[in-house]
Amino acid sequence: MNKANDIEYFIEGISAVCNDKNLITKKVKERFGSEYSKLIDYLLLLENEKFNAKAFAAALSNRELEDGFFRFELKCAEKNNLVIVTGYSDDLIELDGAIKQEGDCFNGENFHLEKYNDEWLLKKGNGCNNISAIWYDQNKTAENLEVIPWTYKTEIPHQSFFAKYRGETFCEGFVFSIEDLNMDNQVVL
C-alpha cells in the first residue's frame, strides 16, 4: 500500500505540470521501475479514464483489500459518481466513493439510502434504495466453495465484485451509480 501511495503522489505531482499521458507514464515507470509496471498502469488508468459501475467493479474484482482502497480508486469512484459497497470484519457495511457512509450491522442488517439536502445517508430499516447486509449467506460461496462472510442484496442497479483479505474472499461487494438511486425519499430543508 505504501508503494501505491508513493506512486499516486508522484503521478499527481507530474500531472500538475504536464498533461502528456505518454510522458507521465514514462517518468513514473522510470522512477519506480518495471517491477511496479502493472500497478502503475492500473493507477494511471484510474486517474485518466471514465468508468461506469460495470467497468469499475471489474477493476476491483479479486483485489486484496487488507489495507483498504487506493486513493486513486476512491477518487475515480467519486469523479464518476460511483459508490463502492463492502463489508468489513463482522460488524460494518461501508460505502465509499461518491457516498461515504458506514453502518453497524453485526450479523447482518437492512439499510436504505435517503437524501437529505445534498447528502445521501445510510439509515437502518427499509425504505427506498434498500441494501441488505447478509452475514454468511449459505448460498454464496467463493471459488474454494467456502461461504463468503459478507454479501448484499439490493434493488439498486449494480455490478458485483469479490474482495479479498489476506488471500481469502471476504466479501461480495458491489458498485452502483448515484444516478440510479430512487429520489422518492428526498428531504430538502
Whether pLDDT at 16 is above 80: yes
Torsional sign, CA 117, 118, 123, 129? positive
Query: What is the average pLDDT score of the chain?
Result: 91
Whether pLDDT at 173 is above 50: yes
pTM given for the model: 0.91
d(CA 19, CA 39): 20
Band of the pLDDT at 189, cuts 50, 70, 90? Answer: very low
pLDDT digits (tens, 9 = 90+) for 119-145: 999 999 999 999 999 998 888 888 888
pLDDT digits (tens, 9 = 90+) for 37-86: 999 999 999 998 999 999 999 999 988 888 889 999 999 999 999 999 99
Torsion angle (degrees, nearest 10) of CA 20, 22, 23, 28: 120
